[in-house]
Amino acid sequence: MTLLRSVATVGSYTLLSRVMGFVRDILTAALLGAGPVADAFFVAQRLPNLFRSLFAEGAFSAAFVPLFAGTMAEQGKEAARLTLMDKPDLAKKIVAAIMAKRNGGAAAAEAK
């Protein structure tokens, strides 16, 4: 009975979340319409989510931490620091490429 109750609880909260998301989308469409303001709003919502996906949820960390640790072990702390200083430019290029792919090339012109 406990398993059935847990499944029902998770299922009902998931359904509530979906319904509230639908209501949010209806209100956003009613307030912003379909135009450049709405497009700007959605891009402003998408960018933080992209950065969270890349940096906070481990995609960047999973690739960078082994590289940094290996450089530190093999070449020392100063070489690892220099590697760290080089990576933000690389990360910027990767993010620009991902955004260009997702937005049909619109961000590619901004990265250059």
Q: What is the pLDDT of residue 19?
A: 96
Q: Could you give the C-alpha distances from 20 to 27, 82, 84, 89, in angstroms and in order?
A: 10, 47, 42, 39
Contact indicator for 84, 68 with CB cutoff of 8 Å: yes
- Which pLDDT tens digits describe the chain residue by residue (112 residues)? 688 888 889 999 999 999 999 998 888 888 888 888 888 888 888 888 777 776 666 666 666 777 777 877 888 777 777 766 666 666 666 666 666 666 665 544 444 4
Q: What is the pLDDT of residue 108?
A: 45
Q: Model pTM?
A: 0.42
Q: What is the pLDDT of residue 26?
A: 87
